[in-house]
Amino acid sequence: IKNFFADLNKLNAIALQNKWAQNNWDLKNSLKEEVIVVTDVTLKIVFASHNMETMNGYTAKEVLGKSPKMFQGEATNQITSSEIRKAILHQQPFEKTVMNYKKNGEVYVCLIKGFPVFNSKGELRHYIAFEKAA
């Protein structure tokens, strides 16, 4: 429960510091059921919730500064990956199911709902993804 509140505080701090225009996600309830990953505009992970470790074996610290591509591998569908890249390029939300890899090399099915995050001036600041094993 300590990690839950730490995650919620970090997310709220990122949102406040970057003046997220749309902060209407129910982050508190999302953290109970989903892993939350936030990347900067260069797609480097700047936040990952602690419950990621339960889903794929990686700690939040291990993924910071890395690309979400680190979870992809041979079983990851390239068409789906391309569709996600296209949505990101066009700053559009997306919802996709992908084959990702756990830290131990096991494949798992991951449902990802991703959204671009803009500040009050309409500038792209981050991407936020809500993920769960399907």
Question: Does the pLDDT at position 115 exceed 80?
Answer: yes
Does 26 score more than 80 pLDDT? Answer: yes
Neighbouring CB atoms inside 10 A of 36's CB total 22
The percentage of the chain sitting over the pLDDT mark of 90, rounded to a whole number, equals 88
Residue 23 pLDDT class (50, 70, 90 cuts)? low
Separation CA 84–CA 88 (nearest Å) = 6
If you average pLDDT over every residue of the chain, what do you get?
95
What pLDDT sits at residue 47?
98
- Cα dist. 130→7, 30, 36, 38, 121 in Å? 14, 7, 5, 9, 24
- Alpha carbons 37 and 120: distance in angstroms, whole number: 21
pLDDT tens-digit profile of 39-91? 999 999 999 999 999 999 999 999 999 999 999 999 999 999 999 999 999 99
Cβ contact 131:112 at 8 Å: yes
Domain count, the chain: 1
pLDDT at residue 59, rounded to an integer: 97
The residues that bridge with 118 in the sheet, in sequence order, are 124
Task: Say whether pLDDT at 18 is over 80.
Answer: yes
- The CATH number for 111's domain is 3.30.450.20
User: Would the pLDDT of 28 be above 90?
Assistant: no
Q: Which domain holds residue 73?
A: 2-133
Task: Write phi, then psi, for 77 (nearest 5 degrees).
Answer: -70, 120
Reported pTM:
0.94
